[in-house]
């Protein structure tokens, strides 16, 4: 099992919580949960999800492909066959150098279009989508220059409906950004572009705004759950679990702020600039932090609080 510090280094992050984002300012989120429960909001949300039109996986993937074609030039990603990877690592000589170790793995990577990554239905009745990143880190050398990012599959929950393309669009953005080692300095910013793009996808795929409303509710529910987990378990949680929670909390807030700004832009060219900036990130020309700075989004501002109150 690789340790989280090594994985973050391997993926090119400089660390986490680098801007000292103040999570304690979000205390009011825990009070909101009780209010939401009283309103039976959760049941309402679940019913909305169950009312959505069912799709098959191919239809869902085609919708995401069309969306990405309209908005981005996607670049290829590295695919790895997990069995071959395990055998390759097992078969390596103990005295091999870190450079040779990564070089040997690089030889079995296959450059593919991200939509050609194997899509696997995970067998559970949910909307959960994830990408699998089976990286091996050479002990003591997590940031050797010739290391590459690679992926083995994308799993999708077997509740496949109109929301599935929105979640797959989220995962596609992870594939595109993570492929560029060092696309973000702070690990806690790792979900921002994926959450932002799922909102853009929902807006694009359903002009009635129903999908957008549902996805925003799901994100808000998740934000509150993650925050309660942070308040409850912050002293006992494994570091990795806590980091994932913190990344979701911060990224949900920043993505919401970014999306509010995008929506408020009246001119099409201004909106397009948000997409061009993300293209620059996936092309390795701009970091997530630079994109945020360009928009004046800094964690010191309490705008997050105002912005989130509007959406609950």
Contact between 204 and Zn ion by CB under 5 A: the answer reads no
Q: Which residues 94-133 are close enough to bind Zn ion by CB under 5 A?
A: none
Instruction: Fill in the DSSP letter of residue 285.
Output: S
3 state DSSP class of 225 = helix
Size of the site for Zn ion (CB under 5 A): 2
CA 190 to chain centre: 6
In the complex with Zn ion, which residue's Cβ is closer, 102 or 259? 259
The vertex-192 CA angle with 191 and 197, nearest 5°, equals 100
Positions in 177-196 near Zn ion (CB under 5 A): 191, 194
> Minimum CB separation from Zn ion for residue 189, in Å?
12
- Give 191 or 277: the residue with its C-beta nearer to Zn ion: 191
**Closer CB to Zn ion, residue 102 or residue 250?**
250
The token pair at 182 is 């060092």
* Token digits of residue 186: 């702070």
- Closest separation in Å from C-beta 129 to Zn ion: 9
Residues 141-180 that bind Zn ion (CB under 5 A): none
Q: Residues 219, 160, 113, 107: is their CA dihedral positive or negative?
A: positive
186 secondary structure, DSSP code: B
Residue closest to Zn ion, measured at CB: 194
Residue 17: strand, helix, or coil:
coil
Report the nearest approach of Zn ion to the CB of residue 25 (Å). 23
The first and second tokens of residue 179, run together, are 């492929």
Provide the β-strand partners of residue 112. 77
Nearer to Zn ion, 194 or 256 (CB): 194
Give min distance, CB of 153 to Zn ion, in A: 15
Cβ neighbours around 232 below 10 Å, total: 11
Spatial neighbors of 160 by CB under 8 A, at least 6 apart, are 54, 55, 56, 57, 60, 121
CA R_g for the chain: 20
* Cβ nearer to Zn ion, comparing 191 with 216: 191
In terms of Cα–Cα distance, which of 257, 271, 264, 252 is closest to 301? 257
Residue closer to Zn ion by CB (options 65, 170) is: 170
Question: Closest approach of Cβ 191 to Zn ion, in Å?
Answer: 5
Q: How far is the CB of 248 from Zn ion (least distance, A)?
A: 8
Smallest gap from Cβ 182 to Zn ion, in A, equals 18
| Residues 252-281 within binding reach of Zn ion (CB under 5 A) | none
Please tell me the distance from the alpha carbon of residue 219 to that of residue 213, in angstroms, as a whole number.
Answer: 10
Between 52 and 197, CB nearer to Zn ion: 197
CB of 185 to Zn ion, least distance (A): 18
Cα–Cα distance measured from residue 293 to residue 275, given in angstroms and rounded to the nearest whole number: 15
User: Is the dihedral angle over the CA atoms 259, 197, 252, 243 positive or is it negative?
Assistant: negative
Q: Which is nearer to Zn ion, 11 or 191 (CB)?
A: 191
Q: Give min distance, CB of 247 to Zn ion, in A.
A: 9
User: By C-beta, is 105 or 199 nearer to Zn ion?
Assistant: 199
- Binding footprint of Zn ion on the chain (CB under 5 A): 191, 194
């Amino acid at each position: 099992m690789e340790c989280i510090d090594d994985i973050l280094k391997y993926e090119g992050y400089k660390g986490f919580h680098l801007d000292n984002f103040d999570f304690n300012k979000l205390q009011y989120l825990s009070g909101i949960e009780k209010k939401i429960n009283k309103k039976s909001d959760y049941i309402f949300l679940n019913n909305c999800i169950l009312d959505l039109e069912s799709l098959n996986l191919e239809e869902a993937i085609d919708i995401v492909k069309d969306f990405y074609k309209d908005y981005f030039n996607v670049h290829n990603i590295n695919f790895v066959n997990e069995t071959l990877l395990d055998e390759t690592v097992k078969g390596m000589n103990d005295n091999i150098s870190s450079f040779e170790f990564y070089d040997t793995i690089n030889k079995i990577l296959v450059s593919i279009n991200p939509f050609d990554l194997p899509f696997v239905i995970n067998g559970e009745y949910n909307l959960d989508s994830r990408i699998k990143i089976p990286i091996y880190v050479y002990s003591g050398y997590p940031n050797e220059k010739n290391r590459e990012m690679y992926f083995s599959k994308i799993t999708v929950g077997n509740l496949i409906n109109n929301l599935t393309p929105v979640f797959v669009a989220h995962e596609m953005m992870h594939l595109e950004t993570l492929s560029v080692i060092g696309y973000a300095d702070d690990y806690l910013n790792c979900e921002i572009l994926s959450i932002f793009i799922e909102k853009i996808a929902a807006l694009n795929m359903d002009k009635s705004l129903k999908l957008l409303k549902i996805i925003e509710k799901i994100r808000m529910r998740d934000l509150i759950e993650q925050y309660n987990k942070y308040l409850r378990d912050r002293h006992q949680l494994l570091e990795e679990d806590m980091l994932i929670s913190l990344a979701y909390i911060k990224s949900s807030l920043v993505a919401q702020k970014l999306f509010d700004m995008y929506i408020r832009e009246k001119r099409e060219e201004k909106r397009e600039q948000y997409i061009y900036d993300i293209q620059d990130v996936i092309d390795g020309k701009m970091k997530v932090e630079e994109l945020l700075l360009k928009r004046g989004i800094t964690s010191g501002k309490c705008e997050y609080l105002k912005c989130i109150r509007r959406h609950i």
